[in-house]
Amino acid sequence: MSLLETKPQPTGNEPTSVGRQFKAVCATLAKHGNQPARLIPILQAVQDEYDYLPQDVLNYIATALGVPPARVFGVATFYAHFALEAKGKYVVRICDGTACHVKQSIPILEAVRKKLKVTAEKKTTPDMLFTVETVACLGACGLAPVMVVNDEVHGQVTPAAAVQIIEEIQKQEQAAKDGAK
């Protein structure tokens, strides 16, 4: 076997190992032709895969597209749709738009935060089960005040009803956990 035919021994730092680590990202980049102009759909697809945009993935995307990381981070932080932190299995969004705010959405938010022991700064429970967010508008003003858990809309919610919804989810999760044992 000649020198040209010998295979180098892997060190773990080759692009192939990076490719394995970011297999889904590589597929997304390829699907979009590694085009910097396709950055937003690339970030959307990556977030669909990871449920958020990890910093190392954003750096990888920047390198792969040949753009400065600041451009990728700028886009990811400009649009509210993108998340830079991992979210819980259940994302609880409480509307604080005008209609919901007038109909007392803040006490709902406070009740949910108290129940889950989260704050405005620490939005996700340590077990990664819940993330609590406020949004400017959910587009369901006729149902105000509104709370959405993942894709399930709950209208005319009271603080007590919001806590009850959370407790139901917790019971379902505990039953699933107990059933898995």
What CATH number should be reported for the domain holding residue 61? 1.10.10
* Cα–Cα nearest to 101, from 53, 135, 56, 59: 135
pLDDT value of residue 20:
61
Inter-residue contact 124 to 89 (CB < 8 Å): no
Cα Rg of the chain, angstroms: 21
pLDDT at 118 over 80: yes
Helix axes 159-180, 105-116, angle to 10 degrees: 30
Same domain, 49 and 69: yes
pLDDT value of residue 172:
95
Is there a domain that residue 1 lies in? no
Place of tokens 């738009």: 97
Same domain, 119 and 61: no
pLDDT at 76 over 70: yes
pLDDT value of residue 3:
36
Q: Average pLDDT for residues 35-50, to the nearest whole number?
A: 95
Domain residues for the domain of 155 are: 90-180
Considering the chain, what percentage of its residues have pLDDT values greater than 70?
A: 88
Same domain, 130 and 53: no
Give residue 7's pLDDT band: very low, low, confident or very high (50, 70, 90). very low
Same domain, 68 and 98: no
Indicate the number of domains in the chain: 2
